Structure 1
């Protein structure tokens, strides 16, 4: 396991805790790599309890010594919590506090990048604001419960501080966005969209000058709406944010020029890192198309580790080659775009994770598909006869017959997410029943009419 180059603990007791946590982390990594069986709660909960026990010991030692210096133990502990968090999502325990650790890590990365780039719109902040509000509520509720199984003070305190820091960063970003007056918000958002489209075109396997030229034309069309070089409201007045929007416009134009000039060619010293980032982005993009069927949440750990390592290798915001030379503007912006895009994918995957164990996901996904089909049939006018519903009814009954005493059992276990799957099954039965009743009534009316 690749651990960042940080010193080993000086205290022998901390070294003993480090050794224990390395064992926990390695067990988690082995579980993550094993695709021959489903991850079960009983595989994960003892490892979580072991981690928390070691954290308590560490806190006692550091309270005694007063040490605040970070060492390798802190890095391994972070890896353990990151893995455990993703495992909690994999086993369907999404609503428990440990599951939130990975999400807060990703949100912090996204907010730091938005702050650094100063390229974002209200839409970017909306989702993060709602997610942080939900996290804050979950933490408050967990603190108010006396449930020792999940209410560990250390983790709650850690997540509380993380969420508070993220909310403070978000407020600063919202204030910065507040510089843009209402009449210019749509223009500002369009410019953000265009510069991202140019960056996407710039990182495709085959560079297309025509595609970038198309976006550049959209920019020039926006620029033509200015009066005396300023962005104005419909009544001709100059609203707040005109200067900032103008600066963004010039930034977009300059970027389109650089991209057209460089034609997607990356300098050789930075090509290995660039290729790694493109590979990560492409893999995550593929997963976004097949997420419900192909993604195990723990898969995200390897992507996060690679991205974190690349992101943390920067100095003063820039990338450096093996000889210590900084990247030029084109290289820096291109690689930062890929890094941010990949973190955004990870964020969306974690948010979309269903509170259902991976053992039940095949059944859950089939029911999701079945529900979409039944809703589509209903919305397009229903069926003309009950016979048309036979395929749906047969599939529903086959899934229902998998239950034993009302529970879905997999390899002798009762996985997490029973409520979600049963609720979805009931919704499908209700939709099918309503369609059947409507078809029978239509048939009866037709007979009566004759």
Structure 2
């Protein structure tokens, strides 16, 4: 994903001019990303995108006889495509093939980490599977408009993702309907325990509550699962042994999926040992890895905050900084191990804690990418206002509507002010027509329709009330006359 400490093949002198040009393109992309004084224009992105594709064509010609070559040129090219991908999302072209590049790269990392962690929810796999199908559609639609090299690269990466995804799905294939809820709860608890373990202040009471719940599940499933009794070894040794046992059983089984009860039993045992381990550690990490831990936790916290304020504060290219930092940490591992300055691996607690933070951060990036709206950042303020208006109007409608059309005046005034911003039916920024016109126009029409329905219902309600009041007055006015006649 980025420049990495891994050893690369020496650069072919013929490729040096290509490297120089793509380094220049990467610098220009970085400058464009850093410029927050104006919104990013599609034409600026397309110009740099086409320049990258030209260099790729030249590179492919040089490498006709050495297709598997990998050196710094490929690393910088990957940087450029990652940035271009995020720029395509920033300008609202989220459904096009280049926008898929960053998403697929993130999902590949995420799937590898899920497999390495050894536990995951079926919901995770379903979500990723659906997105891979959507991205395949984007690639198919882009065959006539985008670089064949890019499309081939995307298809190859998605094929790798699908292979890993199918392997993970296979591992859960024997979970029966009665075991599925137990498994999902255990995965949720294990993740929550890992999250608690990585807080600034260790939540003792919360972890105890999780422990109590695990003991309840153990008691409930006592007749179904054979769980080993606690021995005198440390929790760290027991957890390491459990992971080794699971790996050995997996290797011995080959392509045979584990029996459902075995899957649940393994996760339950891991939960029980892990809760013992983190209670012993009390949130303290091996000091050799304190800097890496602090860095990953800060990245996770920043990404967590972005998920809460995304629609108002995130420019998709901002994710590049986080991806770059995470990629460097991930690629610095050796055989999956985090190493200290002397090349010595971390203890099991540190390894699993750092892996959790790494995986969680990539999961946040995945969430932010798939939540990207098909609207240019130039139109996002209007789009976000309309989203808020639509949500408010739906809440008004679901709560019974309004009693009088006057109550809709604030909504109508805001909608009319937004509608009046259009020029010949388009939302303009200067002389430019930003991407996402259809999405914003559709959203505006939905808001007008909701307001119209609420106004119509309010008018009918008011007419019914007025009619009922007239009937009441008429009846009350007729009663005394009847009384006089009787007298």
**TM interval, short-chain normalised:** over 0.9
1:191 to 177, 186, 193: 186
| Partners of 1:181 and 1:240 within 8 A in 2 | no
2:277 to 258, 280, 286: 258
CA separation in 2, counterparts of 1:92 and 1:204?
Answer: 36
1:279-318 matched pairs, under 5 angstroms: 279-318=298-337
Partner residue in 2 for 1:91: 91
TM-score by length of 1: 0.94
| Partners of 1:355 and 1:420 within 8 A in 2 | yes
- Tell me the alpha carbon deviations over residues 117-167 of structure 1, each in whole angstroms, 9 at most, x when there is no partner: 110121111100100111122223333xxx3xx332111111111111111
Shift of 1:12: 2.3
Partner residue in 2 for 1:353: 372
| Matched positions, count | 438
Partner residue in 2 for 1:448: 467
Partner residue in 2 for 1:366: 385
Partner residue in 1 for 2:176: 181
Distance verdict in 2 for CA 1:123–1:231, change over 3 Å: farther
Partner residue in 2 for 1:31: 32
Partner residue in 1 for 2:137: 137
Shift of 1:7: 4.3
Counterpart secondary structure, 1:182? coil
Shift of 1:229: 6.2
Shift of 1:241: 1.8
CA separation in 1, counterparts of 2:203 and 2:14?
Answer: 59
- Tell me the alpha carbon deviations over residues 177-202 of structure 1, each in whole angstroms, 9 at most, x when there is no partner: 11323321111111100011111111
| Partners of 1:231 and 1:242 within 8 A in 2 | no
TM-score by length of 2: 0.87
Counterpart secondary structure, 1:411? coil
Please tell me whether residue 73 in structure 1 is matched to residue 81 in structure 2. Answer: no
Rg (Cα) greater in structure: 2
Shift of 1:13: 2.3
Shift of 1:11: 2.2
Partner residue in 2 for 1:218: 213
- Tell me the alpha carbon deviations over residues 271-328 of structure 1, each in whole angstroms, 9 at most, x when there is no partner: 1100000000000000011010011000111101111111111111111110111111
CA separation in 1, counterparts of 2:363 and 2:63?
Answer: 36
2:148 to 149, 153, 169: 153
Shift of 1:397: 0.8
| Partners of 1:357 and 1:415 within 8 A in 2 | yes
Partner residue in 2 for 1:4: 4
CA separation in 2, counterparts of 1:349 and 1:414?
Answer: 25
CA separation in 1, counterparts of 2:78 and 2:114?
Answer: 23
Deviates more, 1:418-427 or 1:177-186: 177-186
